[in-house]
């Protein structure tokens, strides 16, 4: 049945920040099954930069068995713009999604400018280091990065801390909307019981100013676009946007 005010299209729900303990095989399977049961079709799992070679195929297989598409993600925490550049040069082609945890203003600005960065994330409880303002949004809208919001703190915090967080998130989402920066809402949880259905995530996004359609986009379309774009770029046949190797060999 069509939803009120929302196009009745089958959505492809994404959780970009599922924190799996890769050493706990049983827990990984449980989390993947739970995410699939809740209606997700694609999950992003943050991995260490020096992840073992067999780890990614194993996780991909676990997710495939649960009926999920797996996206490898790396969370970078650079201390300076030059370190960010170094990390991006080294890791960009090894991971499908790159998120930068911006802990200083210079890093935040550089990450927003850099087209190799997919997601901008800010410290959740240190409000002085949340640098997503108009200048940051302007840089991000010219780049390709999206603002990532984890819902975990909204579930675990109470009282004044949650009030402040909601207030900041509302401000940042309003700025993102104004400058056309996509917002991606992720879970950021490591426990099954804190996982929520995609529509419940959209309901939580209502608390920081995303209406129903935008909330659903934040858990589906906005993330899906990033994955599609990066998979195309990482494909061996990719040359440049719109240019692909169609055929190779002597008979060309």
Which of 195, 216, 218, 223 touches another protein (CB under 8 A)? Answer: 195
Query: Judged by CB under 8 A, which of 66, 176, 204, 223 binds another protein?
Result: 204
CA distance 230 to 181: 18
Query: In the complex, what is the shortest distance from the CB of residue 220 to another protein, in angstroms, rounded to a whole number?
Result: 17
Q: How far is CA 117 from CA 9, 126, 139, 179, 209, in A?
A: 29, 22, 12, 18, 25
Applying the rule CB under 8 A, the residues between 15 and 74 that interact with another protein are 38
- What does the alpha-carbon distance between residue 166 and residue 197 come to, in Å, rounded to a whole number? 20
Q: Quote the tokens at residue 64.
A: 């495939």
- What would the x/- binding string for another protein be over residues 86 to 125, using CB under 8 A? ----------------------------------------
* Residue nearer to another protein on the CB measure, 7 or 193: 193
**To the nearest whole angstrom, how small is the minimum distance from the Cβ of residue 206 to another protein?**
5
170 near another protein (CB under 8 A): no
Residues 6+ apart with CB under 8 A from 158: none
Measured from the CB atom, is 184 or 189 closer to another protein?
189
Q: Tell me how far apart the alpha carbons of residues 107 and 148 are, in angstroms, rounded to a whole number.
A: 16
Q: Which one, 92 or 196, has the nearer CB to another protein?
A: 196
End-to-end CA, the chain: 51
Total site size for another protein, rule CB under 8 A: 20
Among 179, 200, 233, 238, binds another protein (CB under 8 A): 200
Binding residue (CB under 8 A) for another protein from 193, 239, 240, 243: 193
Helices (H), the chain: 25-37, 55-66, 81-91, 105-113, 134-142, 152-156, 159-179, 198-205, 212-218, 221-234
Q: Is 206 in the site for another protein (CB under 8 A)?
A: yes
Distance of alpha carbon 41 from alpha carbon 203, whole angstroms: 19
- Please report, to the nearest 10 degrees, the dihedral formed by the alpha carbons of residues 38, 27, 57, 100 taken in order: 70
Nearest distance from C-beta of residue 1 to another protein, angstroms: 8
The dihedrals phi and psi of 200, each to the nearest 5 degrees, come to -75, -35
User: Applying CB under 8 A, which part among 9-17, 102-110, 194-202, 237-245 lies near another protein?
Assistant: 194-202
- Residue 116 backbone zone (phi > 0: left; psi -120 to 50: alpha; other: beta): alpha
Using the rule CB under 8 A, give the single segment among 90-98, 140-148, 195-203, 225-233 that binds another protein.
195-203
Is 199 a binder of another protein (CB under 8 A)?
Answer: yes
Half-sphere exposure (Cβ direction) of 198: Cα atoms closer than 13 Å: 27
Restricting to residues 212-251, which ones interact with another protein according to CB under 8 A? Answer: 212
35, 71, 74, 155: which one binds another protein (CB under 8 A): 155
């Amino acid at each position: 049945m069509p939803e009120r005010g929302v196009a009745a299209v089958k959505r492809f729900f994404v959780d970009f920040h599922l924190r799996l303990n890769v050493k706990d095989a049983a827990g990984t399977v449980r989390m993947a099954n739970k995410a699939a049961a809740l209606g997700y079709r694609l999950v992003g799992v943050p991995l260490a930069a020096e992840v073992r070679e067999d780890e990614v195929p194993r996780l991909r297989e676990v997710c495939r068995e649960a009926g999920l598409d797996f996206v490898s993600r790396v969370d970078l925490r650079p201390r300076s713009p030059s370190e960010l550049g170094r990390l991006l040069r080294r890791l960009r082609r090894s991971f499908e999604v790159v998120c930068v945890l911006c802990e200083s203003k210079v890093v935040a600005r550089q990450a927003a400018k850099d087209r190799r960065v997919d997601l901008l994330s800010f410290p959740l409880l240190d409000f002085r280091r949340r640098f997503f303002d108009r200048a940051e949004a302007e840089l991000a809208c010219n780049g390709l990065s999206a603002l990532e919001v984890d819902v975990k703190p909204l579930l675990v915090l109470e009282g004044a801390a949650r009030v402040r967080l909601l207030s900041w998130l509302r401000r940042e989402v309003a700025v993102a909307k104004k400058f056309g920066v996509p917002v991606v809402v992720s879970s950021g949880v490591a426990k099954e019981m804190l996982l929520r259905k995609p529509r419940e995530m959209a309901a939580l996004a209502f608390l920081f100013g995303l209406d129903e359609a935008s909330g659903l986009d934040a858990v589906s379309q906005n993330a899906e676009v990033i994955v599609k774009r990066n998979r195309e770029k990482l494909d061996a046949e990719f040359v440049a946007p719109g240019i692909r190797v169609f055929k190779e060999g002597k008979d060309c």
